Structure 1
């Protein structure tokens, strides 16, 4: 089984750029990153499938070693359908976000900022104190 180095490099570039885009705060870039990761996964399944062979439905004295495995092809079709469905859902979320806020970048709301600042002040107890990043600390009171 020989795998083209070009296919492997393309797959690595697709994965790395897709993950980079998914870490952005813009929903459009997250969707583009998800599409790149989905295409890289399809390429990975194609690479792992092995060498090309005769179609499995061909009869007439063809040995089993000469036939290609149909399972990776079925997995690629399933991955395409799943990627399409999730992309449609994410595009719906993007459209809803655009209609509500006229923008697609995520911003921190007041509760997130307050929780972050509250957590940082609780963790500055001193060198001997253990930092706690949860509200279920032994020293904290129960919420009312």
Structure 2
């Protein structure tokens, strides 16, 4: 049995709505997005699990007419996982509401400073290497190499005294 077109469209709509809600900065919408994505996944697993049949009790009907019990177990597991993630997100929403009296995530000043520091470090790394990927010869690198060459013979002869 193939999946019906209506079920396929419903699953696609649920996935797109869940992802849309998940990308918002409001934690309540993120929670709703996770719940919608969980339901879309459950529908996808059920509809791709094969034809519906009689209950999977041995001896009640022929094995060819039974439905697959693995699909039902996977959906039950997915429901429990979605419930756990929802409980975790609810606790985060409650904590955020208790502290800030809002559920929108604001851009933190510390996040901005870390981002600027990373961009500055990347710029320094790019300046140390030329376009071919080899290290460029700057005065500081030459000075370090000269000091290393002077220190190596002095260490080998016992400190130069």
Using structure 1 for the length normalisation, give the TM-score: 0.79
| Alpha-carbon distance between aligned partners in 2 of 1:106 and 1:50, rounded to the nearest angstrom | 42
Alignment of 1:55-74 (within 5 A): 55-57=55-57, 59-60=59-60, 62-74=61-73
How far residue 89 of structure 1 moved from its aligned partner, in angstroms, is 1.5
Consecutive unaligned residues of structure 1, counting only runs of 5 or more, are: 131-138, 140-144
How far residue 40 of structure 1 moved from its aligned partner, in angstroms, is 0.6
How far residue 23 of structure 1 moved from its aligned partner, in angstroms, is 1.4
Consecutive unaligned residues of structure 2, counting only runs of 5 or more, are: 133-140, 142-161
Alignment CA distance shift 1:56-1:123 (3 Å) = closer
**Number of matched residues?**
130
Greater Rg, structure 1 or structure 2?
A: 2
**Structure 1 runs of 4+ off > 4 angstroms?**
121-126
Q: Where does residue 146 of structure 2 map in the other structure?
A: none
Alignment of 1:1-144 (within 5 A): 1-57=1-57, 59-60=59-60, 62-123=61-122
User: What is the CA RMSD across the aligned residues, in angstroms?
Assistant: 2.3
Higher relative contact order (CA 8 A, sep 6+): 1
